[in-house]
């Protein structure tokens, strides 16, 4: 695309009042007006011909293969010329999930090559795309813009920050490594039979196996260890309420980070972990997987969970989950609710799960509502906001209280801290052999 610059338009416009003046005061010189416009038009054509050829200009993009939610990336845009201009403007266009900063850069061309670096800031997890590169430059007279567009259409998916999850898991798990090693390998703690050993002074007399002792002619005691291979199912509500923003990210992203943190640690500890997602209907189900290598599969499933506008169907989701569980399971439910009325079906279905399974309910504390409630009112609008916030918090507390009375384990923390809080509760349950 070639089009005139502001300078060319200004020169053409400057000839109009001159032509008008000549037409009024010197009618014989009216021809100077069209001559002026023709001269400007000729200069524009010459400038377009002398400027760098668009067909011999190559645009290229170097960008990350994927971006991580909450972590900025960088893209390099290059323009290579056969006959280069002195200056060049470059721009990079992306879809709504990626913010490109700055919008446009003016760079100097050196050795027939112009380069510009753009900051890529992911806004939301999902399929990001760098769609096209824009480049434009002026001719030697500065009268025309020459513009070239390259449709890159490069897919740049925005994934969860897995490295941060692993680093946090290793940091927190190493802090509790004494307890984790003890419940898994120390003998005498747990309910799973391990071996028969000779009875020694100081051992619990209740562990003596009298039948085997009589057969072997010596006192033998049963040695137990903590049961391993517990199934841990991470049930995520992916409906409309979970996609609302909280502390800079959608609630579902906070839940996925905490779920992956717990999945990583539980697989390392010898348990089995699985992911289950549902909104109006179940959309993700991995089953209980074992071994550290299963984390990659859970990670891919978590990355496939997109934002939804559907209302959550707890009856269908939790009923199907319950039908997939064949043994006692630790079920961790990540969800949100607006009031006691909308939470009725959730409470009813969680109560059914509790008859056979251990349930942890993760509640993200809404700091914004708490701040609105505590804020000192200065006008009538502040009073209204405080009253509404207090009512919502009271409704939430009623639901949490009912869950506790049912026997649900509650993990309540700010959105950025639910991962460590959930992991601490999981390790505590393992220490107490409640799984």
More confident residue, 415 or 204: 415
Helix, strand or coil for residue 313?
coil
The C-alpha atoms of residue 400 and residue 422 are separated, in whole angstroms, by 16
> Highest-confidence range of 5-19, 374-388, 400-414, by mean pLDDT?
400-414
Pick the CATH number of 162-182+227-431 from 3.40.120.10, 3.40.50.300, 3.40.630.30, 3.40.50.410: 3.40.50.410
Helix, strand or coil for residue 239?
coil
Helix, strand or coil for residue 382?
helix
pTM for the whole thing? 0.66
Query: How far out from the chain centre does Cα 122 lie?
Result: 9
pLDDT (tens digit, 9 = 90+) per residue, 19-71?
Answer: 777 767 777 777 777 788 888 889 989 988 888 888 888 999 999 888 887 78
Give the count of beta carbons closer than 10 Å to the beta carbon of residue 186.
11
Beta-carbon contacts of residue 153 (< 8 Å; ≥ 6 apart): 129, 130, 131, 132
Confidence of residue 180 (pLDDT cuts 50, 70, 90): very low
Q: Is the peptide bond before 421 cis (omega within 30 degrees of 0)?
A: no
Answer yes or no: are the C-beta atoms of 321 and 235 closer than 8 Å: yes
pLDDT (tens digit, 9 = 90+) per residue, 289-324?
Answer: 987 688 888 888 888 888 888 888 888 998 999 999
The C-alpha atoms of residue 18 and residue 40 are separated, in whole angstroms, by 14
The H-or-E segment that residue 108 falls in is strand 105-108
pLDDT of the residue at 345:
79
pLDDT (tens digit, 9 = 90+) per residue, 83-133?
Answer: 888 889 999 999 888 999 999 999 999 888 999 999 999 888 878 889 999
β-strands 144-150, 2-4 pairing: antiparallel
Pick the CATH number of 58-159 from 3.40.920.10, 2.140.10.10, 2.60.40.10, 3.40.50.720: 2.60.40.10
Helix, strand or coil for residue 95?
coil
Nearest to 350 by CA among 326, 327, 321: 321
Helices within 51-109 (DSSP H only) = none
Does residue 179 register a pLDDT over 50?
A: no
Give the count of beta carbons closer than 10 Å to the beta carbon of residue 288.
20
The C-alpha atoms of residue 39 and residue 12 are separated, in whole angstroms, by 9
DSSP 219: -
Answer yes or no: are the C-beta atoms of 109 and 84 closer than 8 Å: yes
pLDDT (tens digit, 9 = 90+) per residue, 325-345?
Answer: 888 899 999 988 777 777 887
Question: In the chain, what are the domain boundaries?
Answer: 2-50, 58-159, 162-182+227-431, 192-225
% the chain with pLDDT above 90: 23
């Amino acid at each position: 695309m070639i089009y005139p610059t502001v300078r060319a338009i200004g020169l053409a416009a400057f000839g109009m009042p001159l032509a008008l003046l000549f037409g009024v005061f010197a009618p014989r010189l009216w021809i100077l007006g069209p001559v002026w416009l023709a001269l400007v038009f000729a200069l524009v054509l010459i400038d377009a011909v002398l400027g760098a050829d668009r067909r011999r200009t190559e645009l290229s993009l170097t960008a990350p293969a994927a971006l991580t939610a909450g972590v900025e990336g960088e893209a390099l845009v290059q323009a290579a010329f056969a006959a280069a201009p002195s200056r060049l403007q470059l721009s990079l266009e992306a879809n709504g999930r990626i913010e490109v900063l700055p919008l446009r850069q003016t760079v100097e061309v050196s050795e027939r090559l112009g380069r510009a670096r753009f900051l890529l800031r992911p806004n939301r997890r999902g399929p990001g795309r760098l769609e096209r590169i824009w480049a434009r430059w002026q001719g030697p007279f500065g009268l025309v813009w020459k513009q070239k567009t390259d449709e890159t259409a490069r897919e740049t998916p925005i994934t969860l920050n897995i490295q941060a999850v692993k680093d946090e898991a290793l940091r927190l798990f190493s802090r509790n490594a004494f307890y984790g090693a003890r419940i898994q390998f120390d003998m005498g703690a747990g309910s799973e039979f391990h071996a028969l050993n000779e009875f020694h002074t100081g051992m619990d007399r209740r562990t003596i196996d009298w039948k085997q002792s009589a057969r072997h002619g010596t006192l033998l005691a049963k040695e137990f260890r903590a049961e391993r291979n517990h199934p841990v199912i991470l049930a995520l509500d992916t409906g409309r309420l979970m996609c609302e923003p909280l502390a800079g990210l959608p609630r579902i992203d906070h839940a996925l980070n905490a779920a992956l943190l717990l999945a990583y640690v539980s697989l390392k500890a010898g348990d089995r972990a699985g992911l289950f997602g549902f909104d109006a209907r179940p959309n993700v189900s991995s089953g209980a997987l074992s071994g550290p290598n299963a984390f990659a599969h859970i990670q891919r499933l978590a990355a496939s969970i997109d934002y939804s506008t559907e209302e959550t169907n707890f009856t269908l989701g939790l009923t199907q989950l319950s039908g997939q569980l064949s043994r006692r399971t630790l079920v961790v439910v990540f969800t949100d609710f607006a009031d006691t009325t909308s939470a009725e079906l959730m409470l009813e279905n969680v109560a059914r799960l509790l008859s056979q399974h251990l349930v942890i309910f993760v509640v993200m504390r809404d700091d914004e509502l708490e701040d609105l409630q505590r804020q000192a009112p200065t006008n009538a609008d502040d009073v209204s906001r405080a009253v509404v916030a207090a009512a919502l918090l009271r409704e939430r507390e009623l639901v949490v209280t009912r869950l506790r009375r049912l026997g649900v384990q509650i993990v309540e923390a700010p959105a950025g801290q639910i991962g460590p809080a959930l992991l601490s509760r999981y390790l505590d349950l393992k220490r107490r052999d409640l799984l």
